[in-house]
Amino acid sequence: MIYTRDGAFERYLLLPRNPDVVLVDSEVVANAPVRFLVSGMGDALSTWFEAEDCRMSQAKNMTGRTGTMTAYGLARLCFDTLMADGVAAKKACEGKTVSPELERVIEANTLLSGLGFESGGLSGAHAIHNGFTALPETHKFWHGEKVAIGTLSLLMLTKRPTDMISKVYDFCQAIGLPICLADIGLADPSDAQLMAVAAQACAPGETIHNIKGDVTPQAVLAAIKAADAEGRRRKA
């Protein structure tokens, strides 16, 4: 993604070809601030839900093609890996230790999420993230942290099963990802501010339109509010 100097989303960066090699030094990750790893998990958390939206609607992926079974399978594996190993990976990182769980989460954050989003497709979580960047209060928060709120909002928007929504909230709380708007600098946003977020999320050409059916700013606004209300309820 390309941002403006002020921190607002500007456009997606699509390279003419994929890199020949991607190298990740697990020791560097283990010794880096834990927030980097957690934010990466926040970004990766959206992968399966967004790819599944694209699969259901037969929307194009980031290369302009229909996703493959492999892409959707990798997206699901990304989610399952986070659920199984995310908490332990964070603990390992806190202890500056390279554990098997940390290795698997590094793979999920980097390879599975990367292939899952590019070849599976994006939908509402990243579009809502892009909308949040219109509000300066969110600029000090990281991409994956805002995507986490976008994912929770997407779950509400697309009416995912209650047990799945609860599972994702539990995971976010367990590893320290945002679960309400106050966690990304929006302690008391006005309806006008949130409508600006929703309107930008629904801009022509945005990935939120990969969701099956019509998506309106009003529906996105309601979903953001519902996600925030559940997060605040859990914190109360």
Report residue 13's pLDDT band, with 50, 70 and 90 as the boundaries. Answer: low
Report residue 35's pLDDT band, with 50, 70 and 90 as the boundaries: very high
Instruction: Say which of 53, 85, 126, 209 is annotated catalytic.
Output: 126
43 is catalytic: yes
| For the chain, the helix, strand and coil percentages under 3-state DSSP, each to the nearest 5 | 65, 5, 30
Catalytic residue among 6, 20, 25, 43: 43
Domain that holds residue 146: 2-235
Number of domains in the chain: 1
The per-residue pLDDT for 18 is 77
pLDDT tens per residue, range 101-125: 999 999 999 999 999 999 999 999 9
CATH number of the domain encompassing residue 152: 1.20.1090.10
> How far separated are the first and last CA of the chain, in Å rounded?
35
Told to judge if 209 belongs to the known catalytic residues of this protein, a careful annotator would answer no
Assess contact for 208 and 128: CB atoms under 8 A: yes
Q: Chain-wide mean pLDDT for the chain?
A: 95
pLDDT, tens only, 49-73: 999 999 999 999 998 999 999 999 9
The one catalytic residue among 129, 183, 209, 228 = 129
The sign of the CA dihedral 137, 139, 142, 147 is: positive
